[in-house]
Structure 1
Amino acid sequence: MTTEAPSEPRSGSGPDGSAAASDPAADVRELRRFNRFYTNLIGALDYGRHLYTPFTLTEARVLYELVHQERVDAADLRASLSLDAGYLSRLLGKFEERELISRGRSEQDPRRQRITLTGGGREAAALLEERSQEAAGSLLRHLPAADRARLTDAMRTIRDLLGDDPAATGEASPAASPEVTLRTARPGDLGWMVERNAALYAAEYGFDLSYEALVARIVAEYAEGFDPRWDRTWIAELDGARAGAVMCVRDGRPGVARLRLLLVEPSARGHGVGRQLVDACIDFARDAGYAQMVLWTNSVLGAARRIYQRAGFELVSETPHHSFGQDLVGQDWRLSLRGADT
């Protein structure tokens, strides 16, 4: 998921944006160059040659899936790992011979085969996990903390933009998902919003310092003119850490609220943070008596647009412009809070 756009401004240029137009052929070359680099680098994490285990990479992937999911059927393994049915059957047969797994009928569907790790299988998976962690740590150990943060943020961005689904890789399950909570702003939160907006949009969209200046002005105006009847800021927390934010403010036109500075941290994407923030903003505006809510965003921010569309916002207009060192396409969106426009 891309960074949620700060939803801006009332007129002129706004803070949502995209990277400058690129050459598709050059983009393909760069992607292939990265693939070659990473394929060579990932050899350092190869489960067979470098982790000194008897398992191939595919066998290790199967063990990983089995140890990270409570109930796994053979058909699920075949789909999640894109494996040939015959190849998977032979692999599971080898595991069964080595007493790493047991096989039986699924309780939900007797036609399906349930795969369960034995005690020995769990020990093998634990050894793989330990050595994989050690190998990955060796790649990161020489990097300063700031560079490690840049690297992990970049990797999350790649996964978000290319459609990675953590649930499909066994990295998260509904039972283990971190808890999202919303609260109103406290002292220090507004400064955090300025800092995170500036840092994220510089890193992900190349925005220059003029964007940080704009966000600082928006936040300062909010703090100086704050009226709890009409204005509100929410901070989303994921397991107690700040993960996102949004503002509802008076637009200046009678009965119109404006959604501003919607932000979701890269590490929090995929947990519904943006949706919950937008829903809180709409609920507050409706309860406060606003007739409409408006926002300004950028066309490239597809994840944010989908949130707005699901919430009922309608696209009103689009305008190309140049702001923050980038060529952008601004979008105005509107939501009626009374069932029909007034």
Structure 2
Amino acid sequence: MTVHDIRSFNRFYTNVIGALDYGRHLYAPYTLTESRVLYELAHSPRTDAADLRTELSLDAGYLSRILNKFEDDGLIRRSPSERDPRRRHITLTARGRDAADLLAERARASVGALLSTVPAADHPRLTEAMRTIQELLSAGRPPRREDVLLREPAPGDLGWIVQRNAAVYAAEYGWNTDYEGLVARIVADFAQDHDPHLERVWIAEVDGRPAGCVMCVRDEAPGAARLRLLLVEPDARGLGIGDRLVSAVVEFARGAGYREVLLWTNDVLSAARHIYQRHGFVLLAEKPHRSFGADLVGQDWRLDLHEAHE
């Protein structure tokens, strides 16, 4: 391996990325950097201007001009941060989320067109090659909080949610395949019929690999969203992934116009319970039950979005 090899690969990959935006339609009417800011606002709960500047390594003045443009176009709203009144909290408006969704759909279509030129039998090889590059270039450095990416599910991720929920809860709590069946039904219902404006899945990624997940779906109760299937891989805990995933659900539910977020969990899941409490969820009721081959205590929790926002 030489410097020439790396520079040659960089030139090749830059040409590939350029091909994705052939005709300059992928990001229009936004620049690449503006599109990155929109993506970050749509997928990360860390939406203070200072956090965006750090996450994207942008000049403060440049980012400020982008945000001013977005506000003039009705894509974002800014308000004092709950963490620090000196900061400005930024959220996407409905128009802003539509713009982010359109860019995401264009990106999926472009990448899909690129992948269509690769034989299906070679897809695993390509995926492993990309993961190998990420792993080798980050070798010797433990993952950091800033390495965590929240993204939409890619093909295969919904199956990963089912498999990892089943495996992790079997290993840590001894739950049987009844739980895997429950998760499979939840995921299948989402995959077959969901409104992307009101329901969403997030995958937390670390070093190119899925490390956590959560879902936000409509509840049967009017005006209520339901948080489901929060999971963080054991070797990725301690990076704040669970907190970021719950934050993403809360911010999305508020932006989608829900009045409350509901969830059901079990009292043995103490780490998750502490996250819910930090975000303002209140325990409504608990009841003993026998499920998944274990004696458990189920709990219903609720977050009032209007009260939490005040």
TM-score normalised by the shorter chain: which range applies? 0.5 to 0.7
For residues 211-226 of structure 1, the aligned pairs below 5 Å read: 211-226=179-194
CA displacement at 1:337 relative to structure 2 = 0.7
Unaligned runs of 5+ in 1: 1-170
Conserved? CA contact 1:181–1:237, under 8 Å: yes
Give yes or no for the alignment of 1:325 onto 2:293.
yes
2:166 equivalent to 1:198: yes
Shift of 1:304: 0.6
Query: Do the aligned residues in 2 keep the contact of 1:294 with 1:333 (CA within 8 Å)?
Result: yes
> Looking at CA atoms only, which structure, 1 or 2, has the larger radius of gyration?
1
Identity rate of aligned residues, in percent?
63
Q: Is the 8 A contact 1:178 1:238 kept in 2?
A: no
C-alpha distance in structure 1 between counterparts of 2:179 and 2:308, whole Å: 35
Q: Distance in 1 between matches of 2:145 and 2:193?
A: 38
Contact 2:280 2:308 in 1 (8 A): no
Equivalences for 1:71-82 in 2 at 5 Å?
none
Q: Which has the higher helix share?
A: 2
d(CA) in 1 for partners of 2:177, 2:222: 33
Q: Secondary structure at the match of 1:233?
A: strand
Residue 252 of structure 1 deviates from its aligned partner by 1.3
Following superposition, which runs of at least 4 residues in structure 1 exceed 3 angstroms of deviation? 171-174
* TM-score, scaled to structure 1: 0.48
Query: What SS does the corresponding residue of 2:175 show, helix, strand or coil?
Result: coil
- Check the 8 A contact 1:201/1:207 in 2, yes or no: yes
1:64-85 Cα offsets, whole Å, 9 max, x none, are xxxxxxxxxxxxxxxxxxxxxx
Give me the whole-angstrom Cα distance separating, in 2, the residues matched to 1:329 and 1:212: 19
Does the 8 A contact of 2:145 with 2:240 survive in 1?
Answer: no
Structure 1 counterpart of 2:196, one-letter code: P
Deviation string for 1:113-170 (max 9, x for gaps)? xxxxxxxxxxxxxxxxxxxxxxxxxxxxxxxxxxxxxxxxxxxxxxxxxxxxxxxxxx
Residue among 258, 263, 282 paired with 2:231: 263
Q: How does 1:121-140 map to 2 (within 5 A)?
A: none
Paired with 2:308 and 2:198, the residues of 1 have a C-alpha distance of 21
Query: Do structure 1's residue 309 and structure 2's residue 277 form an aligned pair?
Result: yes
Partners of 1:248 and 1:259 within 8 A in 2? yes
* TM-fit CA distance, 1:229: 1.3
Tell me the C-alpha RMSD between the 2 structures.
2.0
Structure 2, unaligned runs of 5 or more: 1-139
SS at match of 2:307: coil
Q: Give the distance between the partners of 2:272 and 2:287, measured in 1 at CA.
A: 18
Q: What letter is aligned with 1:278?
A: V
- Show the counterpart of 1:36: none
SS in 1 for 2:239: coil
- Distance in 2 of aligned mates of 1:172 and 1:339: 41
In the aligned structure 2, how far is the partner of 1:252 from the partner of 1:225?
15
Write out aligned runs for 1:119-268 (5 A): 179-268=147-236
Q: Is the 8 A contact 1:178 1:239 kept in 2?
A: no
The amino acid that maps onto 1:221 is: D
Within 5 Å, which residues of 2 pair with 1:44-123? none
Aligned AA for 2:273?
R
TM-score scaled to structure 2, two decimals? 0.53
Cα deviation digits, residues 228-247 of structure 1 (max 9, x gap): 11100000011221100000
2:306 aligned counterpart, secondary structure = coil
Q: Secondary structure at the match of 1:339?
A: helix
Residue matched to 1:283: 251
- 2: distance between equivalents of 1:218 and 1:241? 22
Residue aligning to 1:130: none
Which amino acid in the other structure matches residue 216 of structure 2?
A: C
